[in-house]
Chain A
């Protein structure tokens, strides 16, 4: 029996380029490039390491618009065997509840699974809801915030980073694991793998294929109502150019303004 691993991934706007439209308060997605959520890359790498060790079938799944194809191809190019994108206009505007439901239903539709990996959270909304939500919908155990993950004989052993220590847990499969950002170094994509990934391509599943009613998903299935959004005011920086020779004067000025303190005070 080949181990079946599923990795949940999300395409997000590049957080270094995010621009908030000052009028609508929404992300201006036309100006930002889309990338794979970084923690999801760590989740995929964790899955691929298990695949390298004991052999596994790795399927990446995502819910998103068709342009998430670049992320799906990227995951295939890193070493995933299959890519399924749940994409349907009915899925649009979903909060974390119907997103979890859609992903869980997609996984059920795939059938057998032993381990589900997800990133700890997405960089664009940072809720960390969807991974645990999927585990609940599927009624399986979950290990959150894992920094290292091993698999042996039907058990997953993972280190969980907690405040003040590390907890090591051992859980029988099937289990869902959310993986910490930067907990490993994702492997490079090579030209060979990318070509093969493009040739292989992704599958696109709509609500009908997954077996979901339109009213359960997307904006209609979302209990969250956003009342108001406020941008964070950026702090003005003094941006002062100083001469090395003027360092003493600057220190005195800062000391007098009580910005700089002397060690003994």
Chain B
């Protein structure tokens, strides 16, 4: 007889959602989180897209500590001197709120509290050391020389899944699987943010940037999200590029971003409240571990569920839904008291028929687009020269738009057959 029905490792969106679902179904569940309080070690940007939480917390939009709904979504390319972007603001986004900016320190604490209210035992400030195995089956966790037993374990450890790696359920992370995110939270009065970003109360701005001005082949993206009375601003830089360029440091990149002529004014006068860094899951479907086995399932970032096409970054929605699907699988398996690999295969099947795995498969290889010199170097430079040609009035005869575009593309080596093929392949992946 196990002490718990299920043990969930990690109280992020995936783990907390799994625990809420399990506890709501009267399962005796232990949710263990290394940080104290939950969320204090997490660094999502972040925007929570979609309404995955509604299936476990029906009134979440009213009670969750969300900051602002995304009313203006932008993407922009930055060069040394310029910003070229697209803003999408829509009344339709006001009516159907599809994304909310969140601060994870608040959101994760709230989720853990919801898990506790649902009846889960929530323990923070302890790091599970490894999984407990008996006859090739996971039957609990080990910590401090003790074994805590359960019928199954759901691993929701985030981007750096130590326990899964140490237990041989996840391969060691390579530079290609992860990026580094560095984030600052900068406080500013609510009214100042509303004025600066042309936002009504409650409405928010979210933007992803390509930092096209970086040297030495270093590729990084930037993000800027408005919270109620603060701004989350940061960068995501490829781990392998950092490794290859000893002279390039992630902190220099975030400084160059927050100091950029078209970013700095947005942050002016604010106070830095938080400065943090975290691994970001990047590997895509190729680096996904096996998601289930005898007595265990893996969900959230640990499972590789994150999505970025350069226009939008998502992870929390996949985390929540995969956590819920893992919990539902457990509940189903508990009917026959069978938590073997063959019983838990249901988890994979359900993921496959949900948007979670469908997205992962549809966007297979997308990381080759989002991390490419084409997107990070050629496109920003080309767009800048195109825009300059369009708007520089120097009393010379003008060309048609197409002519200018072709000129700008040719200047940046984009008219070669190989470049066109590359662009075409990328478009298909997006």
The residues of A with any CB-CB pair to B shorter than 8 Å are 33, 188-192, 194-195, 198
Contacts and interface: CB of A to CB of B under 8 A. Distances in A.
A190 B121 contact: no
A195 B148 contact: yes
A125 B162 CA distance: 40
Given A198-B121, A198-B123, A192 B37 contact: no
Closest 7 CB pairs of A and B: A190-B144, A192-B146, A191-B143, A191-B126, A194-B123, A198-B121, A194-B126
B267 interface: no
B37 A195 contact: no
A191 B32 contact: yes
Interface of A is mostly: helix
12 contacts: A33-B40, A189-B125, A190-B126, A191-B126, A191-B141, A191-B148, A192-B143, A192-B144, A192-B148, A195-B30, A195-B123, A198-B123
Interface in B135-160: 141, 143-146, 148
B266 interface: no
B128 interface: yes
Interface of B: 3, 30, 32, 37, 40, 121, 123, 125-126, 128, 141, 143-146, 148
Contacts of A194: 123, 125-126
A190 B146 contact: yes
B143 A190 contact: yes
Contact of B37 (A33, A189, A191, A198): A33
Contacts of A190: 126, 143-146
Nearest to B273: A31
A165 to B, nearest CB: 39
A85 B346 CA distance: 46
B123 A191 contact: yes
A21 to B, nearest CB: 13
A195 B121 contact: yes
Nearest to A188: B144
Contacts of B3: 195
- Most chain A CB inside 10 Å of its own CB: which residue of B30, B125, B141: B125
Contacts of B145: 190
Nearest to B32: A191
Contacts of B146: 190-192
A192 B121 CA distance: 12
A188 B40 CA distance: 20
Contacts of A191: 32, 123, 126, 128, 141, 143-144, 146, 148
A200 B145 CA distance: 21
Contacts of A188: 144
Nearest to B105: A33
A194 B144 CA distance: 11
Contacts of B128: 191
A191 B3 CA distance: 13
Nearest to A73: B123
B300 to A, nearest CB: 21
Given A33-B40, A195-B148, A189 B121 contact: no
Nearest to B3: A195
Nearest to B141: A191
B235 to A, nearest CB: 21
Nearest to A33: B37
A259 B337 CA distance: 76
- Most chain A CB inside 10 Å of its own CB: which residue of B3, B30, B126, B143: B126
Nearest to A31: B273
A132 B40 CA distance: 36
A194 B40 CA distance: 19
Nearest to A199: B121
A192 to B, nearest CB: 4
Contacts of B30: 195
A191 B141 CA distance: 10
Nearest to A194: B123
A120 to B, nearest CB: 24
Contacts of A192: 143-144, 146, 148
Contacts of A198: 121, 123
A101 B128 CA distance: 42
Nearest to B37: A33
A198 B40 CA distance: 21
Contacts of B125: 189, 194
B126 A189 contact: yes
Contacts of B143: 190-192
B134 to A, nearest CB: 18
Given A190-B144, A191-B126, 10 more contacts: A189-B126, A190-B143, A190-B145, A191-B128, A191-B141, A192-B143, A192-B146, A195-B30, A195-B123, A198-B121
Contacts of B32: 191
Contacts of B121: 195, 198
B372 to A, nearest CB: 34
A194 B145 CA distance: 14
A32 to B, nearest CB: 11
A194 B123 CA distance: 7
A173 to B, nearest CB: 33
- Most chain B CB inside 10 Å of its own CB: which residue of A33, A189, A194: A194
- Most chain B CB inside 10 Å of its own CB: which residue of A189, A190, A195: A195
Nearest to A192: B146
A33 B36 CA distance: 9
B186 to A, nearest CB: 15
A190 B141 CA distance: 12
Contacts of B123: 191, 194-195, 198
B191 to A, nearest CB: 16
A200 to B, nearest CB: 12
Nearest to B148: A191
A165 B10 CA distance: 49
Nearest to B4: A195
B30 to A, nearest CB: 7
